Amino acid sequence: MTGVALRADALACYAAALAAVEPRRLVAECLARDGRGLVLRDRQGRMRARHEGPVLLVGAGKASAGMAGAAAEATRGGLAGGLVIVPHGSAGRSAGSVEMATGGHPLPDAAGEAATRRLLDMVSAVAEDVLIVVLLSGGGSALLVAPAPGLTLEDKRALTEGLLASGADIAALNTVRKHCSRVKGGGLARAAARSAGLWALLLSDVVSDDPTLIASGPTVADTSTFREAARVLEDYLAPDRIPPAIRAHVARGLTGDIPETVKAGDSVLARVRTLILAGNRDALAGAARVAAARGYAAEVLAAPLTGDATDAGRMIAGRLRAAPRDRPVAIIAGGETTVRVRPGGRGGRSQQLALAAAVALAGEPGVVLAAGTDGIDGPTAAAGACVDGDSIGRARASGLDPERALDATDSHPLLAATGDLVVTGPTGTNVADVVVALRGAY
């Protein structure tokens, strides 16, 4: 099997992964009119809730525009407006009377803060007969930005920037975010307490599909504490890298001077219904189906990819090299690794993973594709990369040093020079990352 054919198959698997988590279809399958009422059904088709009356749509995230379009169609005239916040450059058109606002990602900005303030005001002011449908997906944590009293947007930006650069994973980042916010950690449910109910539809970008982590859990009980937030700050940031107002705020939380986030049993959660529409495992299953249909013996790794991206890339390449050689094989994995970017480094975690795999796979037949399902990998225009056994040779022929680029976390320029970048633009969905490793029989 040629390298060209392997690349085509890897890209087809990635496309199938994206199709499996297409947000409009997922919302349409669970939200629909039934006579005079709006019905919420789970993934098995069982009815979870029903509402007769007006509906307000709000949400945030990279997939929320498509989700809002399908939800607006499902209300069939019962829509009482709404507001959805998406990243700059991906707004699209409004869904009926639902406004599309934009905000900064991965760092929150003033536009996101202003939009969140309007969203909270809208939710707090609803009449008692209004159902609030909340549409959340990956990216929602940065887009729903409402600093706690005494904190500023600049405090939140500095905190987020520092934790991202430190290599903190999404769980650690969100633990601190929730304790410095009016909207995260159940804050949106608090604001919606006077409504007829709240239905939260979530497209999961975390490997555990834990609703407390998706968009930092604005509609669910939070299990984390101020003590855990303080531990994250201590583990990942030097004291002088923590904004003084953040440090003081967390200290007040530790002494009980600031209320904790919403906890299980709180009355504001009594009429909340939460549904996970899909997640990373659904994307991997879509990729595996295409791989099997194309003749590969497909294996989906049970353990999610976490931790250092370089280590994950080496592991994937090692498994591909060790796989049986008497048949075409596909190793499919997903998750969210981390990369501690060095000064001057350009790239993201998927590109770092792919470059590490390329170094380990040098001279061997096979390809490794690593890409974000949102179409964005780090501060670059690439979704990720698809490398093969000849990628390192092409890099050296261009005068580039792959090992040095890997150590410097400077994967993007090298992968651009070798022609290995995968560029899709924003995909409209987001369920973390997908890795597809393929090798033919020989």
* pLDDT tens by residue, the chain, 442 residues: 788 999 999 999 999 999 999 999 999 999 999 888 999 999 999 999 999 999 999 999 999 999 999 999 999 888 999 999 999 987 566 667 899 999 998 888 999 999 999 999 999 999 999 999 999 999 999 999 999 999 999 999 899 889 988 888 878 988 998 999 999 999 999 999 999 999 999 999 988 899 998 999 999 999 999 999 999 999 999 999 999 999 999 999 999 999 999 999 999 999 999 999 999 999 999 999 999 999 999 999 999 999 999 999 999 999 999 999 999 999 999 999 999 888 899 999 999 999 999 999 999 999 999 999 999 999 999 999 999 999 999 999 999 999 999 999 999 999 999 999 999 999 999 999 999 999 999 8
Alpha helices (H) along 80-204: 110-124, 140-143, 153-166, 170-178, 187-191
Q: Tell me, yes or no, if the two domains 3-14+281-439 and 22-146+181-224+261-278 fold the same way.
A: no
pTM assigned to the model: 0.90
Token pair for 429: 């969905």
pLDDT of residue 106: 83
Distances (CA, A) of 171 to 217, 225, 378: 11, 13, 18
137: left (phi over 0), alpha (psi -120 to 50) or beta: beta
pLDDT of residue 92: 60
pLDDT of residue 94: 65
CB 11 within 8 A of CB 4: no
pLDDT of residue 436: 98
∠ CA 167-375-142, nearest 5°, is 50
CB 60 within 8 A of CB 100: no
pLDDT of residue 38: 96
Which class would CATH give 22-146+181-224+261-278?
alpha beta
Q: Give the residue extent of every domain in the chain.
A: 3-14+281-439, 22-146+181-224+261-278
Q: What is the CATH number of domain 3-14+281-439?
A: 3.40.1480.10
pLDDT of residue 8: 97
How far apart CA 113 and CA 117 sit, in angstroms, is 6
